[in-house]
């Protein structure tokens, strides 16, 4: 189908080329200014990223290998028009960052939030640099949007590469864990099969085949096999790090939510104070963060200008409790439909909500079993060597070779 004769395609292309030329000229002026502050920008981002990743300060000191934060910032402000291989550089930086975040136990959700923060800080730095320009090409609002899209494209590529690095670390760890598991399962199974083979071997004297020690040996190994299946193949062992419980401070999660809602709170002239201390334990950090964000946002919508929200903490046996209170005994959320929606969301992460003068959010703290399972998944070096089908690094026998020379099944 032909387009109308008056369709200004050539004019649109010319306008786009002219806009590209203006943006290139602006970048040539702005980028040197950004490079001068790359170190300080990286330092600020790294400090905030530790909080976004929900890592305690003392645990997060080496989240970034030397120079990695600066390298990530430099990929965001590199000269598109004058640099070759910038995409390859972004991909390499992203993959390394994703692997580092996985090894540190961060969730995939918070990894992506950290990279969103990097894009936002880069855009703010670009905005500040543009404000300092005293001369340069005359730009339009569309030019500004297109310049921002350049930054966002880099951020999207960086996030994609980081996700790949994160999942590569997980898949390597999972592969190694199952290699260990196959070996640990085959050991008692091999003993049981050997005992059964001896008991059925007619060349062995009958009194030897009837030895009670054989039955006791088979029983012990069957029990060991059952325990391995229950623990190493239990429900907790199936959790992906992207949704796995994290060992975090509950206050860290609350402060992360407060920071996200700060613009909304300032717009409504409401202050949010958070009590010091609070419980520390293993919870669904991502789910709790989303729940608290929904709760606080709904509470802000009912607050009066000048009001203050107070968030305190408590702990009962096996549970962490977050208490949200408005001034003068007002209910945090009065709308029943909102409370019902929040209760449904809370139920999905094993939490409960109770209303009244203090809205209480109670969530169960997981046992140490989840911690050992998570650590087992993450404790494998990131440079695990790929093995060919049929090879097994830790198995006593090949994955294809069964006991007594029989073909084995996986």
Tens of pLDDT along the chain (410 residues)?
Answer: 455 555 555 566 666 666 667 777 777 777 778 888 888 888 888 888 877 877 655 544 555 655 778 888 888 877 544 444 566 778 888 888 888 888 887 888 888 988 999 999 988 888 888 777 766 666 667 777 777 888 888 888 889 999 988 888 888 888 888 888 888 888 888 888 888 887 888 787 877 777 788 788 888 888 888 888 877 776 666 655 555 677 888 998 999 899 888 988 998 899 999 999 888 888 888 888 889 988 998 889 888 888 999 999 987 888 899 999 988 778 888 888 888 888 888 888 889 998 777 889 999 887 544 444 444 444 443 433 333 333 333 333 333 333 333 333 33
DSSP-based three-state secondary structure for 321 = strand
CA neighbor of 51 nearest in space, from 9, 105, 114: 114
CA distance 312 to 277: 9
Say how far residue 180 (Cα) sits from the centre of its chain: 25
| Cβ atoms 168, 379 nearer than 8 A | no
CA neighbor of 389 nearest in space, from 377, 379, 399: 399
CA distance 38 to 92: 19
Residues in the chain: 410
CA distance 78 to 76: 6
Q: What is each CA distance from 100 to 95, 97, 125, 164, 230, in whole angstroms?
A: 9, 5, 26, 12, 31
Query: What tokens were used for 196?
Result: 């059964």
CA distance 32 to 91: 23
**What's this model's pTM, rounded to 2 decimal places?**
0.64
CA distance 193 to 409: 14
pLDDT value of position 322: 93
Which residues pair with residue 312 across a beta bridge?
A: 323
Torsion of Cα atoms, 380 then 385 then 391 then 394, to 10°: -30
Query: What tokens were used for 25?
Result: 């000229």
């Amino acid at each position: 189908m032909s387009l109308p004769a008056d369709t200004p395609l050539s004019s649109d292309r010319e306008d786009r080329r002219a806009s590209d030329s203006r943006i290139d000229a602006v970048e040539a002026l702005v980028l040197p200014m950004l490079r001068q502050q790359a170190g300080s920008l990286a330092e600020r981002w790294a400090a905030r990223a530790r909080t976004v990743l929900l890592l305690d300060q003392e645990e997060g000191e080496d989240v970034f290998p030397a120079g990695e934060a600066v390298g990530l910032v430099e990929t965001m402000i590199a000269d598109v028009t004058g640099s070759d291989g910038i995409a390859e550089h972004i991909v390499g930086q992203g993959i390394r960052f994703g692997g580092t975040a996985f090894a540190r136990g961060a969730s995939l959700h918070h990894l992506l939030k950290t990279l969103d923060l990097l894009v936002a800080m880069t855009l703010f730095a670009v905005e500040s640099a543009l404000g300092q320009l005293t001369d340069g090409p005359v730009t339009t609002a569309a030019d500004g949007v297109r310049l921002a899209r350049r930054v966002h494209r880099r951020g999207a590529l960086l996030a994609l590469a980081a996700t790949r690095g994160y999942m590569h670390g997980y898949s390597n760890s999972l592969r190694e864990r199952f290699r260990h598991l196959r070996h640990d399962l085959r050991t008692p199974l091999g003993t049981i099969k050997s005992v059964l083979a001896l008991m059925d071997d007619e060349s062995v004297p009958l009194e030897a085949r009837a030895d009670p020690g054989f039955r006791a040996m088979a029983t012990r190994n069957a029990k060991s096999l059952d325990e391995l299946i229950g623990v190493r193949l239990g429900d907790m062992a199936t959790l992906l790090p992207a949704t796995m419980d994290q060992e975090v401070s509950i206050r860290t999660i609350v402060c992360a939510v407060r920071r996200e809602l700060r613009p909304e709170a300032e717009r409504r002239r409401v202050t949010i104070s958070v009590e010091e201390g609070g419980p520390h334990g293993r919870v669904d950090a991502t789910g709790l963060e989303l729940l608290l964000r929904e709760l606080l946002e709904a509470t802000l919508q009912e607050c009066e200008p000048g009001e203050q929200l107070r968030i305190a903490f408590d702990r009962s046996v096996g549970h962490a409790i977050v208490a949200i209170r408005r001034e003068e005994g007002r209910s945090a959320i009065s709308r029943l439909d909102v409370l019902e929606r929040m209760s449904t969301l809370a139920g999905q992460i094993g939490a409960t909500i109770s209303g009244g003068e203090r809205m209480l959010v109670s969530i169960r703290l997981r046992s140490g079993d989840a911690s050992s399972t998570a650590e087992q998944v993450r404790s494998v070096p990131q440079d695990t060597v790929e093995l060919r089908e049929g090879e097994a690094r830790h198995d006593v026998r090949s994955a294809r070779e069964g006991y007594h020379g029989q073909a084995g099944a996986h």
